[in-house]
Chain A
């Protein structure tokens, strides 16, 4: 009896609990935080599957960046949830029926009959020198180079779309141009003027006392 199944069940239980709470809690900030918890536990499950790269990247990207921005937005928004929940009771029976049917179907299909250890053999254990990151990299940049490039283009489109939808140039806004500030020369700002002294006597008078 190893400790791994125990860990698996603990992480899975917390994961399912957190996932349910994401949609069950009323406060959107709590929902986002429960989502973070769910991400953490799925990362832990990935670690159990010897996929440490995916686990760490999940934490790094989703927890460390995406959810931070998500929280940022959710905290800023003052959402009044009451109107959003108006139709909830009305549609719940239909929703529940559909959800239960879907759940049953999936449970029937994705059960041990079709994906059990008899159908799909467990992958072999790897030694301590097995490097998940290197393995992943070596197929990602060879066999899957084409999908990888398309994914990169999708990200580029996302950037273009986000900027074109949000960037508004307002003519009255005042910008600083640091380059201009740095490149400014003395001659542009200060002009030294040679002037005749106004009265010869006054300087002597000042010196006198």
Chain B
């Protein structure tokens, strides 16, 4: 221990900072990767039970080692590059899909002050990064030199742009209500009780944001970019092995990210749901905030799986109609409502 400390002291200060940041990044990224792995298992189990099946139960106790087996299988498979595909972009695309999904976590607060980068424009940062995830998909579709992949990419590009606008407007509502772009401040602005959380004053935006989030992650019922029953697997039809696994990781990491953001912005992040209720508040005071956040995230993740098991896939023109003609007008109207509410100091949120 002594020697370790001595080694640490010997490193110049700028490098110390850098190392410390890298450690923090790993502390976020590794659990996310694990969570992704087990989310795939959860998905198969949940959908299995919804469809009155059992789901995977062969590898390990109750199938718990299934994700590890899947990962090993994918890692050992060959990466096939199609003829006349653009080699560089073809291999670059999965990385471009995964990187924004992980980078956005830098500003997500897990507890009061427990955040990698406490920057003032956190919300904008999140919005900017989530808008980048589409590049991985478009480039994959184009570089594959395949018609199905290209169709998937085109669909995805149009869909993402449409829903990003609604999503952005929903976030504008949040920032108006909180008066800050910093995600920690946004959570602190919701302090008080369950009814102080922004889901209530921003109810339409809450729904719009979450549904747009489902669309942004290309999950069912908005998964026309994959559309396995019509264009086989869409943009990643030509991918195999690890490069395919990266797309998979990116999709699930995005789901977790959207869940976390929804929880932070509309359900009070790390705040306890029993705040402000006499008795219960003290009873649960010992629970750390991160547990509440994880619980809230789980609810949304379950919703993702539930949607997939329940809804049939939207037709393409219906997706466009919903995005442009329903969500965007709703958000704009609600922004007006929030503006009036703020000007009128409507309690208990804006007083």
Give yes or no for direct A-B contact (beta carbon below 8 Å): yes
Q: Which residues does A use to contact B, with CB under 8 Å?
A: 3, 29, 33, 36, 52-53, 56-57, 59-60, 63-65, 68-69, 71-72, 75-76, 131-133, 178
Asked if residues B134 and A68 are in contact (CB atoms below 8 Å), the reply is yes
CB-defined contacts of A36 to chain B, threshold 8 Å: 135
Q: Which residues of B contact A64 (CB under 8 A)?
A: 127-128, 131-132, 134, 164
**CB-CB nearest in chain A for B88:** A30
Q: Which residues of chain B come closer than 8 Å to A65, judged between CB atoms?
A: 131, 161, 164-165
CA of A21 to CA of B161, assembled, Å: 26
Asked, given contacts A63-B131, A133-B181, whether A56 binds B164 with beta carbons under 8 Å apart, the answer is no
Is there an interface contact between B138 and A72, defined as CB atoms closer than 8 Å?
yes
Secondary structure of the B contact surface, majority rule: helix
Tell whether B158 is near chain A: CB-to-CB under 8 Å.
yes
- Closest 4 interchain pairs by CB? A64-B131, A56-B124, A59-B128, A60-B128
CB distance from A8 to the nearest CB of B (A): 17
B266: Cβ under 8 A from any A Cβ: no
> Could you show 6 A-B contacts with beta carbons less than 8 Å apart?
A56-B124, A56-B128, A57-B128, A64-B131, A68-B134, A133-B124
Given A64-B132, A68-B134, A75-B150: A56 and B142 interface contact (C-beta under 8 Å): no
Q: How distant is A9 from chain B, measured CB to nearest CB, in Å?
A: 18
User: How near does chain B come to A88, taking the closest CB pair, in angstroms?
Assistant: 25
Known A72-B157, A133-B124; 17 more pairs at CB < 8 Å: A52-B119, A52-B120, A52-B121, A53-B124, A57-B124, A59-B128, A60-B168, A64-B128, A65-B131, A65-B164, A68-B134, A68-B160, A69-B161, A71-B142, A71-B157, A75-B153, A76-B154
Residues of A within 8 A of B128 (CB): 56-57, 59-60, 63-64
Instruction: State in angstroms the CA–CA spacing of A133 and B321 once bound together.
Output: 33
Flag whether B125 is at the interface (Cβ < 8 A).
Answer: yes
A72 in contact with B158 given A57-B124, A65-B131 (CB within 8 Å): yes
A interface, over-half SS = helix
A59: chain B residues at CB < 8 Å are 128, 131-132
Query: Which residue from B14, B132, B154 sits with its C-beta under 8 Å from A72?
Result: B154
Determine which of B14, B127, B154 lies in contact with A75 in the assembled complex, contact meaning CB atoms within 8 Å.
B154
B168 proximity list for chain A (CB < 8 A): 60
- Complexed CA–CA distance, A178 and B321 (Å): 10
The interface residues of chain A lying within 8 Å CB-to-CB of B121 are 52-53, 56, 131-133
B78 to chain A, nearest CB (A): 27
CA gap between A65 and B142 in the complex, in Å: 18
Residues of A within 8 A of B157 (CB): 68-69, 71-72
Contacts of A53 in B (CB 8 A): 121, 124
Most interface-central of B121, B127, B161, B168 (chain A CB within 10 A):
B121
A63 contact set on B, CB distance < 8 A: 128, 131-132
| Complex alpha-carbon distance, A71 and B141, angstroms | 12
A132 to B150, CA, bound (A): 40
Q: Which residues of B contact A3 (CB under 8 A)?
A: 14
- Closest A residue to B125 by CB, please name it: A56
- In the assembled complex, the Cα of A59 lies from the Cα of B134 at a distance in Å of 13
Whole-angstrom distance between the Cβ of B95 and the nearest chain A Cβ: 14
Nearest neighbor of B154 in chain A, beta-carbon distance: A72
- Is the beta-carbon distance between A133 and B120 smaller than 8 angstroms? yes
Q: Provide the bound-state CA to CA distance between A63 and B150, in Å.
A: 20
A57→B168 CA distance, assembly (Å): 11
Say yes or no: A60 contacts B124, CB within 8 Å.
yes
Cα–Cα, bound, A154→B60 (Å): 63
A135: shortest Cβ distance to chain B, in Å? 11
* B 64-106 binary contact with A (CB < 8 Å = 1; else 0): 0000000000000000000000000100000000000000000
- A57–B139 alpha-carbon span in the complex (Å): 22
How distant is B178 from chain A, measured CB to nearest CB, in Å? 13
Which residues of chain B come closer than 8 Å to A56, judged between CB atoms? 121, 124-125, 127-128
Known: A52-B119, A56-B121. A68 touches B150 (CB 8 A): no
Min distance, Cβ B139 to any Cβ of chain A, angstroms: 8
Residues of A within 8 A of B89 (CB): 33
A206 to chain B minimum Cβ distance, whole angstroms, is 36
Find chain B residues with CB under 8 A from A60 CB: 124, 127-128, 131, 168
Contacting A at CB under 8 A, from B120-174, are 120-121, 124-125, 127-128, 131-132, 134-135, 138-139, 142, 150, 153-154, 157-158, 160-161, 164-165, 168
User: Which of A3, A57, A69, A133 has the most chain B CB within a 10 Å cutoff?
Assistant: A133
Contacts of A68 in B (CB 8 A): 134-135, 138, 157, 160-161
Min CB–CB distance A28 → chain B (angstroms) = 11
A72 to B134, CA, bound (A): 11
